[in-house]
Chains A and B, each alone.
Chain A
């Protein structure tokens, strides 16, 4: 783990790692949620650079903007202000369709609550990202099997989510996230619904993926898990404080 300054309101920019290319670059990103009466600042002037192949944790109390940050990076949400670059490309001008394609090809998501589709079995769940690449069924099936092998679930391909433990479900979710071989893996509290042993197993899988070159950004409340990552970014009230 890298050392970080505790000065509030000051972001410490860590030295570039891995191959030195920025996988993710956020400049002056703001996200304001507006309803009829209330305006909530979810992200406020966030500057962040994540190098290719880096494993980064995002920490902060509830409501600090961690998930919003992940959603902005994952192109699920557009910032109100600021610039987002993925792999050197400014995504601000991309259409919804182009964003969908970019999500499909470059980003994988792991959610705290797994978000598996109950009506589909394990392998069909894992295949979902490949469906939108118009790959032939045989190719899809092969890639899904391979992803399931990576997370140690190749023996449960025809099980349904309801037949799996929490840890197994999260492993299916990870397989789904990596099946398309994305450059970036975004994990939002991936161990939040798991006990510590299963949580460690999940982190081990994420570390393994990171070692093979995938950039991983993980939101977590757990300092112990965060300390296993190369860098920690802390948010408070939408501001980046570390």
Chain B
């Protein structure tokens, strides 16, 4: 029986080409977008090199100082992070580093713009960069303010062409650095890791950064476990009232909290409430968008399937006349719809792999390395099959319950 159903499903798909096209297009494009969106989310939020420990990392990227009529919010300063955030229980390691900023170099008279970040030595122990040559700078270099740098492969090519980068020097921001290590390019969305050039934090030209409460620094806190996040935040909050304000006449309090990457992105996307990111709202918006995105084509497919099945009322009449039960007919249409959904899924799979590859090589997202998340793809395919079954079962059930005489009157062959 199932072979016959499959054969009929194949014939029906071939016969109603436009319907088949619309159906397959809807399913495959929905899956395609779902896969790309999930790949982007994965790329942003899941542990992935160099941020392989992202699931147990908290970041301090935003703090606010407030006084009467005064507010200063933004990245914290090294002084605050160094003096008040060290030795928090459950934090295994902490790194302090600046944001990545444009830094110009000149190669053969041509201006080369790179994104440069200044970091401590711990930075290289929390993040897992893929070194293709050399090594990171360590605590001694940072302590000495050594003019050494780690650069990405593409930066090394831009600065030095085909020459071996290790040991080469380049000048930027009025300082000359010697390349100490070369790493693979880092995706732009890896917020704490991304840069083209990394140099020791102690190469900053003045010492003002060492004491400032607000500034251009971030902290990465590697917790012993994600379960420790709450304790770390509690301890962090408990220390804030003890911060000695450097301008007490202007700023009285300091607020903020270590955040996960998701919370950081949520704060950027939908803002904060009392300095706390609206993560729930952010996830809700994403879920709603995903639901709407899946639901609209699903409703269309249900409608299409209903009209397609109603077109075949005469066939249903014939089958009933020759002994088909309601279950037989519902089964037949469900098989047809599952075939259609799986076919759409297969096309969606091919399209997704192709599109991800295209995005990776196109440079639309710098240094992107998008991968398909098989779990999300299977969820999407499962939903397509679910809607396929639903859209087949309901009209088939209605039609199968139709009086066979009425069904036979419904069309002529």
B-binding residues in A (CB < 8 A): 71, 74, 76-77, 96-97, 100-101, 103-105, 109, 111, 113-120, 124, 127-129, 131-134, 137, 161, 176, 180
Supposing A103-B322, A104-B322 touch, asked if A115 and B314 sit within 8 A by C-beta, the answer is: yes
Q: Which residues of A contact B319 (CB under 8 A)?
A: 128, 132
Asked whether any CB of chain A lies closer than 8 Å to the CB of B52, the reply is no
A76 and B321 in contact, given A117-B315, A119-B11, A132-B328 (Cβ under 8 angstroms): yes
Flag whether B204 is at the interface (Cβ < 8 A): no
Assess the A71–B405 pair: CB atoms within 8 A. yes
Residue contact A131 to B4, C-beta cutoff 8 Å: yes
In Å, the complex CA distance between A8 and B321 comes to 33
> Given A117-B413, A120-B11, A127-B4, does the pair A132, B323 have CB atoms closer than 8 Å?
yes
Task: Count how many chain B residues have C-beta atoms less than 8 Å from C-beta atoms of the other chain.
Answer: 27
A115 and B317 in contact (CB under 8 A), knowing A71-B405, A129-B323? yes
Distance A76 CA – B12 CA, assembled complex (angstroms): 26
Most chain A Cβ neighbours within 10 Å, of B11, B322, B328: B322
Chain B residues with Cβ below 8 Å from A119 are 8, 11-12, 15
Q: Are A115 and B325 in contact (CB under 8 A)?
A: no
The distance in angstroms between the C-alpha atoms of A114 and B408, with both chains bound, is 11
Which B residues are CB-close (under 8 A) to A124? 4, 7-8
Interface pairs (5), CB distance under 8 Å: A96-B325, A103-B323, A118-B15, A120-B11, A132-B324
Q: Please tell me if B291 contacts chain A, counting CB pairs below 8 Å.
A: no
A111 vs B322: C-alpha distance in the bound complex, in angstroms?
12
> Which residues of the partner chain B approach A104 to less than 8 Å between Cβ atoms?
322-323
Closest Cβ–Cβ distance, residue B334 to chain A (whole Å): 15
- Residues in B neighbouring A114, C-beta threshold 8 A: 413
Q: B15's closest neighbor in chain A, by CB?
A: A119
Contact A134 B12 (CB under 8 A): no
A161 contacts B405, CB within 8 Å? no
| B405:A77 contact, CB within 8 angstroms | yes
Q: Which 7 A-B pairs have the closest CB atoms?
A: A104-B323, A119-B11, A113-B412, A132-B323, A129-B322, A76-B404, A115-B318
Chain B residues near A76 (CB-CB < 8 A): 320-321, 403-405, 408
Partner among B12, B321, B326 whose Cβ is within 8 Å of the Cβ of A74: B321
Partner of A100, one of B7, B317, B320: B320
Is B238 among interface residues, defined by CB-CB distance under 8 A? no
> Cβ of B324 and Cβ of A117 under 8 Å apart?
no
- For the residues of B in contact with A, the DSSP-based class is helix
Q: Which of A76, A104, A113, A137 has the most CB of B within 10 A?
A: A76
Alpha-carbon gap, A134 to B321, bound state (A): 16
Shortest distance in angstroms between B377's beta carbon and chain A's nearest beta carbon? 31
Partner of A128, one of B314, B318, B404: B318
How does the 8 Å CB contact mask read for B375-413 relative to A, with 1 for contact and 0 for none?
000000000000000000000000000011100100011
CB within 8 Å of A: which B152-199 residues: none
A97 proximity list for chain B (CB < 8 A)? 325
Does residue B364 face the partner (Cβ distance < 8 Å to A)?
Answer: no
Instruction: Decide if A103 touches B321 in the complex (CB within 8 Å).
Output: yes
Are the CB atoms of B4 and A115 closer together than 8 Å?
A: no
Closest to A112 in B: B412
For residue B3, CB closer than 8 A to chain A, the reply is yes
Alpha-carbon gap, A96 to B324, bound state (A): 10
Alpha-carbon distance between A106 and B404 when the two chains are bound, in angstroms:
17
Are B413 and A109 in touch, CB under 8 angstroms? no
Q: Which residue of A lies closest to B1 (CB)?
A: A131
Q: In the bound complex, how far is the Cα of B320 from the Cα of A103, in angstroms? A: 9
Q: Please, which residue of chain A has its CB at the minimum distance from the CB of B11?
A: A119
Q: How many Å lie between the Cα of A132 and that of B319 in the bound state?
A: 9
- Name the CB-closest residue of B to A117: B315
Contact with A along B9-24 (1 / 0, CB 8 A): 0011001000000000
Q: For residue B315, which residues in chain A have a CB less than 8 angstroms away from its CB? A: 117
Kindly report which residue of chain A lies nearest to residue B404, judged by CB atoms. Answer: A76
Chain B residue at minimal CB-CB distance from A179: B322
* A196 CA to B99 CA, complexed, in Å: 93
In the complex the two chains form, is A100's CB within 8 Å of B325's CB?
yes
Chain B nearest CB: distance from A133 CB in Å?
8
Chain A nearest CB, measured from B287 CB (Å): 41
Q: How far is the CA of A122 from the CA of B255 in the complex (A)?
A: 80
A137 touches B403 (CB 8 A): no
* Central interface residue in A105, A115, A132, by most chain B CB within 10 Å: A115
Q: A101 contacts B323, CB within 8 Å?
A: yes
Task: Please name all residues of chain A whose beta carbon is closer than 8 Å to the beta carbon of B314 when the two chains form the complex.
Answer: 115
Known A77-B405, A103-B321, A134-B1; judge A161-B413 contact (CB<8 A).
yes
Q: Does B321 lie within 8 Å of A109, measured CB to CB? A: yes
Given contacts A117-B315, A119-B11, A120-B11, contact A128 B322 (CB under 8 A): yes
A115 to B408, Cβ gap below 8 A? Answer: yes
CA distance A235 to B401 in the complex (A): 30
